[in-house]
Structure 1
Amino acid sequence: MAATYNLSSAALSSSSSAFFSHSTFSVKNPTVSLPGKRVGVCMCVATSQDSKTAHKTAVSRNENMAKLQAGYLFPEIARRRNAHLLKFPDAKVISLGIGDTTEPIPDVITSAMAQRSHALSTLEGYSGYGAEQGEKPLRSLIGKTFYSDLDIEEDDIFVSDGAKCDITRLQLVFGSNVSMAVQDPSYPAYVDSSVILGQTGQYQKDVEKYGNIEYMRCTPENGFFPDLSKVPRTDIIFFCSPNNPTGSSASREQLTQLVQFAKKNGSIIVYDSAYAMYISDDNPRSIFEIPGAKEVAIETSSFSKYAGFTGVRLGWTVVPKELLFSDGFPVAKDFNRIVCTCFNGASNISQAGGLACLSPEGLEAMHGVIGFYKENTSIIMDTFNSLGFNVYGGKNAPYVWVHFPGRSSWDVFAEILEKTHVVTTPGSGFGPAGEGFIRVSAFGHRENVLEACRRFKQLYK
Structure 2
Amino acid sequence: MSAIQHQNFSTSISSSTSTFLGKTEFKNIKTLNVLIPSKISGVVKCVASPSAEKTTAYKTKVSRNENMAKLQAGYLFPEIARRKAAHMSKFPDARVISLGIGDTTEPIPEVITSAMSKRSYALSTVDGYSGYGAEQGEKKLRASIASTYYANLGIEEDDIFVSDGAKSDISRLQVLFGSNVTISVQDPSYPAYVDSSVILGQTGQFQKDVEKFGNIEYMRCTPENGFFPDLSTVRRTDIIFFCSPNNPTGCAASRDQLTKLVQFAKENGSIIVYDSAYAMYVSDDSPRSIFEIPGAKEVALEVSSFSKYAGFTGVRLGWTAVPKELLYSNGFPVAKDFNRIVCTCFNGASNIAQAGGLACVSPEGIKAMQNVVGFYKENTDIIVDTFNSLGFKVYGGKNAPYVWVHFPGQSSWDVFGEILEKTHVVTTPGSGFGPGGECFIRVSAFGNRENVLEACKRFKQLYK
TM-score, length-normalised on structure 2? 0.91
Give the Cα–Cα distance (whole angstroms) in 2 for the partners of residues 439 and 35 of structure 1. Answer: 33
Give the structure 2 partner of residue 411 of structure 1.
Answer: 414
Give the Cα–Cα distance (whole angstroms) in 2 for the partners of residues 122 and 26 of structure 1. Answer: 36
Amino acid of the residue matched to residue 380 of structure 2? T
Q: CA RMSD in A?
A: 2.2
Give the Cα–Cα distance (whole angstroms) in 2 for the partners of residues 309 and 322 of structure 1. Answer: 31
| CA deviation string 1:352-376 (max 9, x = no partner) | 0000001111000000000000000
Q: How far off is 1:54 after superposition? A: 1.5
SS in 2 for 1:309: coil
| CA deviation string 1:6-45 (max 9, x = no partner) | xxxxxxxxxx95xx35788799xxxxx99987566999x9
| CA deviation string 1:66-119 (max 9, x = no partner) | 000010000000000010011100000000000000000000000000000000
Give the Cα–Cα distance (whole angstroms) in 1 for the partners of residues 64 and 419 of structure 2. Answer: 38
Contact 2:4 2:97 in 1 (8 A): no
Give the structure 2 partner of residue 190 of structure 1.
Answer: 193
Give the Cα–Cα distance (whole angstroms) in 1 for the partners of residues 91 and 278 of structure 2. Answer: 35
Give the Cα–Cα distance (whole angstroms) in 2 for the partners of residues 48 and 21 of structure 1. Answer: 38
Map 1:175-214 → 2, pairs under 5 A? 175-214=178-217
Give the structure 1 partner of residue 15 of structure 2.
Answer: none
Give the Cα–Cα distance (whole angstroms) in 2 for the partners of residues 455 and 131 of structure 1. Answer: 50
Amino acid of the residue matched to residue 194 of structure 2? V
Contact 1:26 1:91 in 2 (8 A): no
Show structure 1 runs of 5+ residues with no match. 1-15, 28-32
Matched, 1:385 2:388: yes
Contact 2:7 2:95 in 1 (8 A): no
Pick closer, same or farther for the CA change 1:22–1:113 going to 2, 3 Å: farther
Give the structure 2 partner of residue 146 of structure 1.
Answer: 149
Give the structure 2 partner of residue 113 of structure 1.
Answer: 116
TM-score, length-normalised on structure 1? 0.92
Contact 2:281 2:400 in 1 (8 A): yes
Which of 55, 62, 66 aligns to 2:69? It is: 66
Contact 2:274 2:290 in 1 (8 A): yes
Give the structure 1 partner of residue 103 of structure 2.
Answer: 100
Map 1:414-425 → 2, pairs under 5 A? 414-425=417-428
Map 1:260-275 → 2, pairs under 5 A? 260-275=263-278
Matched, 1:345 2:343: no
Give the Cα–Cα distance (whole angstroms) in 2 for the partners of residues 132 and 80 of structure 1. Answer: 38
Give the Cα–Cα distance (whole angstroms) in 2 for the partners of residues 49 and 287 of structure 1. Answer: 55
The number of aligned residues is: 438
Larger RCO (CA within 8 A; separation ≥ 6): 2
Give the Cα–Cα distance (whole angstroms) in 2 for the partners of residues 330 and 47 of structure 1. Answer: 56
Give the structure 2 partner of residue 57 of structure 1.
Answer: 60
Moved more, 85-94 or 46-55: 46-55
Give the structure 1 partner of residue 402 of structure 2.
Answer: 399
Which of 177, 180, 205 aligns to 1:174? It is: 177
Q: How far off is 1:53 after superposition? A: 2.1
Divergent runs of 4+, >3 A: 21-27, 33-43, 45-52
Report percent identity of matched pairs: 80
Give the Cα–Cα distance (whole angstroms) in 1 for the partners of residues 380 and 109 of structure 2. Answer: 20
Which of 130, 134, 157 aligns to 2:133? It is: 130
Give the structure 2 partner of residue 13 of structure 1.
Answer: none
Moved more, 45-54 or 306-315: 45-54
Give the structure 2 partner of residue 317 of structure 1.
Answer: 320
Amino acid of the residue matched to residue 350 of structure 1? A
